[in-house]
Amino acid sequence: MSNYRKPVVLLLNVGSPDAPTPAALRRYLRTFLDDPRVVDLPTLIRKSLVHLLIVPFRSPRSAKLYARIWTEKGAPLLVHTAAQATGLADRLGVPVVYAMRNGNPSIPDVVERMLADAVTDIVVIPMYPQYASASSGTAIAEFYRALNEYEYVPSVRVVGPFFDDKAYLDALAARIRAGLERSTAEQLLFSYHGLPVRQLKSAAKTSGGNCWLADCCNTVHSGNHACYRAQCLATSRALAERLPGVKCSTTFQSRLKGAQWMQPYTDETAVALARQGVRRLAVVCPSFIADCLETASEIGIELRETFKHAGGEDLALIPCLNDDGAGLDALAALARAELAR
């Protein structure tokens, strides 16, 4: 048996466009949305909807939204992910690379570079605490598809959902406490990325369970272990336990028209709270490890404007873990456990 071993840790995330321009957004959205795990409709309907309706009309608006949060170094998600890779490499003592399901650096390109570098072991970390087919599922599937193009397949271990990992929860709770101290908010929203209800039901059926969108999500068990909603609610409960005295609610953001999505909705909840007399609101997004369009723009800008228009005074976006030291320690521990196998 050879003593040669060269491990690498691979971070997978959703990705960002190459530039905040309509042309770049058209390229990005075509890949992102023409994915049966993201838009789970029959092929002809999906392609017609995406290429003829959504992409042409959504690209200019999305470009303007990205332009508002774009940094000198590029898209926030890419900047934060690069910093996370550097911080993890320092902690683990092995190379850490990252790839994006959509955009650059692409998963096929990164897989090609890893194999050219003679790696023998790959530990994959999908950067999503809760599992969903449209996030973790599609990233992992694309990784295996890219790897399948090569004769040699190295050892692969994938870090599973870490929605209930103690170190991750402790790090995020500390982040939230610091944000609440700065904002003096009266109430806290845990805002998760939403999904169509049909995707919840499909995931449950293909993982040995069923989905009732009811009290079945109050615990995670064999019948709903792959349920995104159940995992989100488990994260919320664990965070609430770490935040005694804080009034918390769980909501879901980023819905699209034309289907039933997970509820309650973040925007409608924020408006209702403002009309009920809540003047200062804080929002944290536990389904994201790095700040991106859905946090910095959708919550930090758009929801803040919506809340103020409804009568609120201020809405504070609590940043994602990004390259927070405790958050990186939690990710490093997850990777280290797989590297030791």
Domain region containing 251? 166-318
Does 1 map to a domain? no
Spatial separation of the C-alpha atoms in residues 83 and 89, rounded to whole Å: 10
Check whether residue 239 and residue 260 sit in a common domain. yes
Give the residue among 133, 171, 132, 139 at the shortest CA–CA distance from 158.
Answer: 139
Check whether residue 248 and residue 290 sit in a common domain. yes
pLDDT mean across residues, the chain: 95
Average confidence (pLDDT) over 267-274 = 98
Check whether residue 239 and residue 114 sit in a common domain. no
DSSP-derived 3-state class of residue 309? helix
- 126 near 136, Cβ under 8 Å? yes
Spatial separation of the C-alpha atoms in residues 330 and 68, rounded to whole Å: 31
- Measured CA to CA in angstroms, residue 27 lies from 15, 18, 167, 286 at distances of 12, 9, 37, 28
Does 60 map to a domain? yes
- Token reading at 291: 């700040």
Check whether residue 240 and residue 258 sit in a common domain. yes
Does 2 map to a domain? no
Check whether residue 16 and residue 128 sit in a common domain. yes
Check whether residue 101 and residue 220 sit in a common domain. no
DSSP-derived 3-state class of residue 25? helix
Check whether residue 177 and residue 233 sit in a common domain. yes
Instruction: Look up tokens 């399948």; give the residue.
Output: 148
pLDDT of residue 88: 98
The domain tally of the chain equals: 2
pLDDT of residue 206: 77
CATH of residue 237: 3.40.50.1400
Spatial separation of the C-alpha atoms in residues 95 and 25, rounded to whole Å: 31
User: pLDDT class for 3, splitting at 50, 70, 90?
Assistant: confident
